[in-house]
Structure 1
Amino acid sequence: MTTPQPLPYGTPDAPRISVRGEARLEVDPEIAHISITVTARGTDRTTTLDDLTRRNTRALDLLKTYGDAVEKLETGLITVAPQFAGKGRHEHVRSYHGSVYLTATLGDFTVLGELTTNIADLPLTEITGPWWALRPDSPAHREARRLAVQEAVHRAREYADALGSRLTALLELADDGTEGMGIHGYAGGMARGGYGGAGFAAGPEPELDLEPQRQTVHAQVNARFTITPPQL
């Protein structure tokens, strides 16, 4: 015997209401990402690579002096490539350019201005960022989902009340996957290191004043309910 399938739009005795619940929160960021590019130039490949290795080590050592404030430190793309001069048969290697790309994630914003200034003061070093964000497991995501569900129930009750009905059962609650994981906002803070000098500046460098950018978290659900027969 074939089990009868439920009708998609309910019945006169058990009508259905389909609603959407949404929530949008603005919260303070929890982490900040910065990108660092260390470069080296020279007329000899080996010398360029040695310089690149030394400058990369120095940047890493500086970042590590901030301890737990730097929660994650990752090395990305590394390149060492010849730069050519001339064309055709007269083409020859003019110099070599090398780069190392680093990404740092900070959870302590009180040192962010000082850190970006010190990194930017390193020779042939570029820093970009910060990009503000929430942690993947941030309570803000859970709160947005909870509020979205409450909004769906509230909206369904309003429709039922307008018909002189009441909610009787929840048939389906679906997350349509549009929840934002925190918008990565870009805010100032880009600095470029100078091309000279092997040490830090003699005097204290000015510290960048960085204001964290608020993050938007969005959650959305679709829900279906049955209601009592309306009073038409």
Structure 2
Amino acid sequence: MLALAPAACAQMPTTAKTASMTQMEHPAMNHNSIQPETTLDISAEGEVMRAPDIAFITAGVQADAETAQAAMQQQANAMTGVFDALAKAGIEKKDMQTSNFSLQPRYTYVEIDEGKGRTRGEQRLDGYTASNELTIKVRDLDRLGATMDSLVSAGGNTFSGISFALDNDDEVRAEARRLAVQSAIARAELYASAAGMKVGRIVTISEGGDYSPQPMAMMSRSKEMMMDASTPISGGEVGYTARVNIQFELVK
């Protein structure tokens, strides 16, 4: 019997080692784990609508001429008048930015009779087109129509559109984010209740990005369409939307 005692003692470390490995192979048995057993992923949005207080006009000058130099000179003369008119309308230099400038050749397609009933097509240079486009920030919306009219009277003949926004949108974006989180929590509670569970802690939360759709009040208006004094423009409302992705833990 005394000879068996050392053998029994030798088995004890092996037994302890086996128990430790079993626990590692079955992490669910570890009651101190913070990994949730049941989770719910929710994506939600929050939207806030506000009346805009600024507008952006995209407008400019387009000039056609037989030579590139003549086209450039014509647009330069017209743009000088446009800048002067905008300054008189109260637009500061910092609120005017060139957004597009181009000089392109113009071609016409002609058919040449080669005789015997055969013709061939050919492109011939017909002149040049110079374009200069501005993005203009208008801070006084009550003078928006008058500003556009003065721009046209000074020589502006292209309009690409108008967009509206808030000059300072930090507070509105923050409100949209709060609404998105509140919406996600409300939906999580609904799903949890339907499943006979409760919402526990938030496991992860991430922002899915936000955007502010800007309604377009006008697109591609020609000079002839803008000749009436004080062109009426309506800004409507602009919407700011935030998205969040939240993972909730569900508990019994």
**TM-score, scaled relative to structure 2:** 0.68
Q: Deviations over 1:106-162 (max 9, x none)?
A: 232111110111112233622232122345844222111111111222232344445
Q: 1:182 aligns with which of 206, 212, 218?
A: 212
SS of corresponding position for 1:110? helix
Instruction: Find the aligned partners of 2:167 and 2:147 in 1 and give their Cα distance.
Output: 21
Amino acid at match of 2:159: I
2:73 maps to: 50
Aligned position for 2:98:
75
Does structure 2 conserve the Cα–Cα contact (< 8 Å) formed by 1:134 and 1:182?
A: no
Rounded Cα–Cα distance in structure 1 between residues aligned with 2:249 and 2:123: 78
Match of 2:131 among 79, 99, 103: 99
The alpha-carbon distance between structure 1 residues 69 and 129, as it changes in their structure 2 partners (threshold 3 A), is farther
Verify the 8 A CA contact 2:89 2:150 in the aligned structure 1: no
Q: Which moved more, 1:119-128 or 1:148-157?
A: 119-128
SS state of the match for residue 95, structure 2?
strand
The AA in structure 1 aligned to 2:185 is V
Residue 224 of structure 1 and its aligned partner are, at CA, apart by 2.0
Equivalent in the alignment of 1:218: 241
Number of the residue aligned with 2:62: 39
Structure 1 residues 159 and 74: alpha-carbon distance in aligned structure 2, compared to 1, 3 A threshold: same
Of residues 174, 178, 189, the one that matches 1:157 is 189
Q: Structure 1 counterpart of 2:48, which letter?
A: L
1:82-161 matched pairs, under 5 angstroms: 82-84=105-107, 93-123=125-155, 125-134=157-166, 137-161=169-193
**Structure 1 CA distance for aligned equivalents of residues 220 and 108 of structure 2:** 31
Partner residue of 2:39 out of 16, 33, 56: 16
Deviating more after overlay: 51-60 vs 117-126: 117-126
Local SS of the residue matching 2:230: coil
User: Cα RMSD between the aligned structures?
Assistant: 3.5
How far apart in 2 are the matches of 1:91 and 1:159?
A: 67
Q: Following the alignment from structure 2 to structure 1, what is the Cα–Cα distance between the partners of residues 128 and 102?
A: 10
Alignment partner, residue 198 of structure 1: none
Say which SS state the counterpart of residue 58 (structure 2) adopts. strand
Distance 2:193 2:164 in 1: 43
- Residue deviations 1:88-112, cap 9 Å, x none? 8x98654332221111122321111
Residue identity matched to 2:49 = E
Q: Secondary structure at the match of 2:81?
A: helix
3-state DSSP of counterpart to 2:189: helix
* Alpha-carbon distance change, 172 to 69 in structure 1, aligned in 2, over 3 angstroms: same
Q: Secondary structure at the match of 2:55?
A: strand
CA contact (8 A) 1:156 1:225 kept: yes
Deviations 1:174-203 (A, max 9, x none): 2223x2x21121113754336xxxxxx9xx
Partner of 1:52, secondary structure, is: helix
- Tell me the distance in 2 between the aligned counterparts of 1:81 and 1:169: 62
- Gaps of at least 5 residues in structure 1 are 195-200
